[in-house]
Structure 1
């Protein structure tokens, strides 16, 4: 069944799944904390889980949007795919690229080490990779996280996903969608299994695009299932999510403790993607009790709604703070109290930059996007 109605979307305001915004906020706060946390402080929890949540969510939302648009355009009849592709990329560009290039321009302005265009012979070494959304390949070659711009690697792979995914969802016959998405998803763990084969060319192969295909693909599988009539409240879906979480915890824990994983490490992130689908489904359906009320808190909702802007600027914020509040790096602040003071400064700078982007870049372009989308 195609174009099936939404199932279980109880907690909505103006068409938004409010608790999903709460989950976005929690994920973004955790990612920011991980990047702002001083290197001397212990890191026990695998905070990268929250970044992967956004990748799975991207796969779910983009696939669902493309499927619904395919239904609408095919119902009208006539050729539409190439014109639809053009409209889709323009809309994505207005939503994603304008604030992205604003963040990149700021990184250049404050001379972020890897993106700064100075006079040195290799001054352009990093910049083209960021400009053309290939920074994940650049970081794979570097084998290092450049200060202020290292978070752009995940934005690069998402942009690459936006480019290729309409060809999968719109141009393949409907009967081929399920096997195509399954094959796409399988490329991720297969790539991780053969990780060492990439080492002659890349220091960090794990940031290459195809190593993350299962995040997007499994999110896409959830969207395809919902589009074909599966309820987000399905006990089978919940069971798969629980099994995925159990598989991830067992493999991750075994590896962390030095126990044998029997060749299953390549599937660790695949299990995580399945588990994250359960959280996404629950975010749409709605958690009950204290957790549900927490996720619907107004301040948390606001953070979730602007989470893209926060992600763009949160890693640049420490560099901006260093320019404005340089005294926080004097010797008297070179202790735990100084580190504690700097973190809320990073948060304040991030919020200011996010709100500036939202007011003067993202909001004015929303009306343009809406007009294009209504055609």
Structure 2
């Protein structure tokens, strides 16, 4: 069967119907931008009525699970069809992850180590040794049982890196037909583990950073990456979730003046079931967004400022919490201008946000983008070194 000038095989058809095709997925960069803004507001504006930081991190987890598990699933299909080798798939995967994550991360850690030795937060245990090995979540939840220092946000990077270490072995070595079941088991295990931690009275930092529910959210993103294209149920659920999110936003904005004294009518705001419901709701909304590229919401997420902020979001996330919270703090000057307090706060946040964007912009153009351009040559070299067995058999002389 011909399609677009090339032969469409059964493998191609299976890939198309067993998950999203490779290429640009509309709205993902906008979602990344929304995620880093939520995390920024949590760390710098100290929004506490709603845990916007958790929302932002879980959006990142959903995107990572969607892309990574979807890619591994498609590669496993290629392996089963004989058009790829396991060794090549694994090498390409780890090469891509290393180019994307390691350079700027370790450069920043190296600079922080020097600065911490000389002058930066010398009276605070930053746990830098743990961050070098992507064990920030363990350091926060078990070793320190708290959130000291300005590098605590590295815990989510540790969770993702641990996911990257396990996912390729779990999925590349497992038949593609079983991938949805594997992800479902991870979700169920994560939910059960989260409930168990709450029942055992685990501390808030331990639950936040080390709960297996974090891996369940990654698996939920993976299920979105393997599901078929848009369905009526996904569209309806997505519209409902969007409406609920909009209503929640209006309520939060309207109650902003009383945030400091407002309390929810139930005792445990961060209870296990609320977390689980939040994760599932985010998943439904995310599934609708990635399956309805023509919706108004996706069009809004594709706006150029959001798209670019999403492109540089990794650097933004790394740098934003290291920017001094006192940057832009000038009470005497604003008192002389007789400006209200909210204007002073807005100016502080705007200046800190702009600096984080500038640092992320420089990081992207000077380091990250240039390194990512090496992916295709490296992938081609790996393909030549480890050719697919089917192709190698076809080229053998008779």
Give the alignment's TM-score, normalised by structure 1. 0.78
Offset of residue 129 of structure 1: 0.8
CA distance in 2, matches of 1:234, 1:293: 19
Match of 1:216 in 2: 218
SS, match of residue 16 in structure 1: coil
Match of 1:4 in 2: 16
Match of 2:234 in 1: 237
Task: Note if 1:68 corresponds to 2:74.
Answer: yes
Offset of residue 29 of structure 1: 1.5
Mapping 1:1-375, distance limit 5 Å: 2-4=14-16, 15-37=23-45, 39=46, 43-47=48-52, 48-76=54-82, 80-111=85-116, 126-141=127-142, 142-196=144-198, 204-208=206-210, 210-225=212-227, 230-231=228-229, 233-239=230-236, 256-258=264-266, 265-284=271-290, 285-286=292-293, 288-289=295-296, 291-318=297-324, 328=328, 332=332, 336=341, 338-374=344-380, 375=383
Aligned 8 A contact 1:56 1:273 in 2: no
Aligned 8 A contact 1:157 1:209 in 2: no
Offset of residue 216 of structure 1: 1.0
SS, match of residue 226 in structure 2: helix
CA distance in 1, matches of 2:117, 2:242: 38
Per-residue CA deviations over 1:275-333 (Å, capped at 9, x if unaligned) read 223333343322534x45432221121111111121111111227xx6xx6xx556636
Offset of residue 162 of structure 1: 0.5
SS, match of residue 212 in structure 1: helix
Offset of residue 50 of structure 1: 2.1
Instruction: Please list every run of 5 or more consecutive structure 2 residues that lacks an aligned counterpart in the other structure.
Output: 1-12, 249-262, 336-340, 384-398
CA distance in 2, matches of 1:292, 1:329: 37
For this pair of structures, how many residues does the alignment match?
346
Change (3 A) 1:85 1:179: same
Greater gyration radius: 2
CA distance in 1, matches of 2:244, 2:298: 26
Offset of residue 354 of structure 1: 0.6
SS, match of residue 158 in structure 1: helix
Aligned 8 A contact 2:198 2:272 in 1: no
SS, match of residue 147 in structure 1: coil
Offset of residue 8 of structure 1: 9.2
Q: CA RMSD in A?
A: 3.8
Change (3 A) 1:355 1:109: farther
Match of 2:258 in 1: none
CA distance in 1, matches of 2:203, 2:289: 40
Instruction: Please list every run of 5 or more consecutive structure 1 residues that lacks an aligned counterpart in the other structure.
Output: none
Offset of residue 134 of structure 1: 0.4
CA distance in 2, matches of 1:244, 1:295: 16
Aligned 8 A contact 1:107 1:149 in 2: no
Give the alignment's TM-score, normalised by structure 2. 0.74
Aligned 8 A contact 1:60 1:223 in 2: yes
CA distance in 1, matches of 2:167, 2:333: 48
Match of 2:6 in 1: none
Offset of residue 200 of structure 1: 7.6
Aligned 8 A contact 1:149 1:316 in 2: yes
Per-residue CA deviations over 1:147-179 (Å, capped at 9, x if unaligned) read 321110001000000010011211123343232
